[in-house]
Chains A and B, each alone.
Chain A
């Protein structure tokens, strides 16, 4: 499915055409070399370039054509608008596309709904539960497995379908070297560090703050995910029942992950408060906020659950944590987290265009 033209595209195209005649920002990120490989910017190419942009704002503060210049160039804002539209149009199933524009309402409804489900399924409130299988005394294991796997698989497939739809606009099959290079670029957020590892965020003075905070958040997320995987193996392969001891692998991973996520999410929220609004597209910010609060809340309730698991606070905490996690899973394909697979796909495509010699 070739990407279609959206109302935000003409402005991004105008900006890129000015940049292509200027090129001063060439060294900041992969967007400029990708732009220079083209003279025209059809919709699919624009979507690719928009997802390649990491929103570092380097090219905004460096731009001699930024407002109040009569050309009022704002490449980061223009690309972030196109980026959001590019996700909307690839969302599967299609009738849910409008949800991306209502991140707060969608997330609140989803989390509340799962909270009610959890309440309905739960028992044993008001008492402390300890020993192997304590959690399952509150919510039965098969219920947990059913809720978790259905929502998670839905998220996975919907995100994959959306990313593939975007990919088909440009086509081609990547090689291993391309994927490796993209993994490297994603893991280091290379494109957020064009100015000697720093970028002008939250304000004009370059810092490493956003990169570090995002590393903490995404790294913590992966650790927490790893904790879940290890827990699943313990449960189903080894037959060991949660809750696990504090120094067990799942709990250590989960704790480290939770702390990192909380730090990262808090850091990014603080930076957002300080951020210069000029290079940002205001309508894209609510989705950022919702994901940050959601991930922060998941981490916080996870840590609380760990701390209070032997007390009567455990059952309500478990219900809340579960509702947040499940709400996160089902809203993933209509939210900001789409940036991860779409950006990754753009990095792979960029590696392909540069040729594997550089990989």
Chain B
């Protein structure tokens, strides 16, 4: 059925071209996905002279997957560069990564990524992306992270424009439905476009279709019933269909399927695409109770930037995958509000009723906690001396009595950012096959391969960095192969 043997088909003569140009059915490069990794690859391949077709599952207004919701990337730099202050050198970056992953990473790939991150800001700036100083409240990131002016959607608008200028064709609402692999190479890809099924026979493929976090059925395989109560922070189009097709087609998996980036969100967040505005930073300034009105973890264990990414998992392990953050009026001024209004009441039992909790249980928890608080000098920016004494589950910092009405409560739920299971790649973004060989014409970039480097944990801005670095590598590998073929 397929003419494709290992490697590339011969470039069709111009007489056989459909009217819209070669990219309609037999592009040099097919890029699957429409986020940062995908468009970085498309632009890079196009600059090498390849014809490029992008297949994006989402409609145009919702294009770009999780990238739509991002705000920054983490970039190594040897001197201050644009909005990036000071320096951020390879070893410090590596140490940061080692700490969050607890060593579950691939040092060679990770260091390569870190070094290549130094070129991302200028690559994006060359595509028309503007940067802005680190956002209010994120001063701690001004040295390490470059913030996109207007966020990820503005970035996407710019890179899509650059891709369009270079002649990249983009097909929206066109998810990949089938992939035919033959002798270690991709022979054909089937898109479900609004105009019906379309077969694409590209010389090379870049898979950049994100994680599978929006596929609740798949998440259930690891989390059971609990997955039904997860909120997916980003795109509903991250269904993992492409990942599954590749793994079923013989690509080598990488990463722990149960691992994902998950944080505490305001429980009223929409099921999908709620993005950044549903995040809630109240935990260290409050106590957090479960459905039974009981505390279950030290809310003041460490500075919030170092702890916020464990709370998704902690809440996922509570009954019903819900929790409530409880504080009093003065404490409510210490954190950025979420987009939803605080639920307030004059007394703790009334607050419990407003939140749907048992008033006696909550009043008991708050009373025990208040009695255990030891006075100290409150300092939200450092590990202060405000702690509890004698509780089975202590609060080790920022513990203050909950005593000044109105009392404030927020519901919390786990919000999944992205999953870590992916396909294994080498340092050129080429995909490994399960038999240990490399795919002839398949490259992967972004969340679909992030698990190569992020075995667990997360470093703010690293998702976009992985996507940018591997997107460019994948575009280069795919584009060069196609260009070499065209010369022969």
Contacts and interface: CB of A to CB of B under 8 A. Distances in A.
Given A21-B278, A61-B153, A63-B153, 17 more contacts: A17-B339, A22-B151, A24-B154, A24-B276, A33-B136, A58-B150, A61-B154, A62-B153, A64-B69, A64-B151, A64-B153, A64-B275, A66-B61, A69-B62, A69-B273, A194-B149, A195-B150
Interface string A12-39: 0000011011111111100001001001
B157 A204 contact: yes
A239 interface: no
A2 interface: no
Interface stretch (B127-135, B174-182, B202-210, B355-363): B127-135
Interface of A: 17-18, 20-28, 33, 36, 39, 58-59, 61-71, 194-196, 200, 204-205
A195 B277 contact: no
Contacts of B69: 64
A314 B150 CA distance: 54
29 contacts: A21-B277, A21-B279, A21-B338, A22-B276, A24-B150, A24-B152, A25-B151, A26-B135, A26-B136, A27-B149, A28-B149, A33-B136, A39-B337, A61-B150, A61-B153, A62-B153, A62-B154, A62-B157, A63-B153, A64-B152, A64-B273, A65-B277, A67-B61, A68-B59, A68-B62, A194-B149, A195-B130, A195-B150, A204-B157
B175 to A, nearest CB: 18
B440 to A, nearest CB: 37
A205 B135 contact: no
B275 A65 contact: yes
Contacts of A70: 270, 273
A240 B451 CA distance: 84
B367 interface: no
Tell me the dominant secondary structure on chain A's binding face: loop
A21 B153 contact: no
Contact of A62 (B59, B137, B151, B279): B151
Contact of A22 (B61, B68, B275): B275
Contact of A27 (B133, B152, B278): B133
Given A26-B136, A68-B62, A62 B337 contact: no
A31 to B, nearest CB: 13
Interface of B: 59, 61-62, 68-69, 71, 130, 132-133, 135-137, 147-154, 157, 161, 270, 273, 275-279, 336-339
Contact of B71 (A17, A24, A59, A71): A24
B149 A61 contact: no
A205 B165 CA distance: 12
A298 B176 CA distance: 59
B339 A18 contact: yes
A196 B149 CA distance: 10
A61 to B, nearest CB: 6
Contacts of A204: 157
Contacts of B148: 24
A26 B276 contact: no
A8 to B, nearest CB: 20
Nearest to A59: B150
Nearest to A58: B150
Contacts of B161: 205
A204 B59 CA distance: 16
A232 B245 CA distance: 81
A7 B150 CA distance: 29
Contacts of A68: 59, 61-62
Contacts of A26: 132, 135-136
A27 B337 contact: no
A28 B132 CA distance: 9
Nearest to B273: A69
A27 B157 contact: no
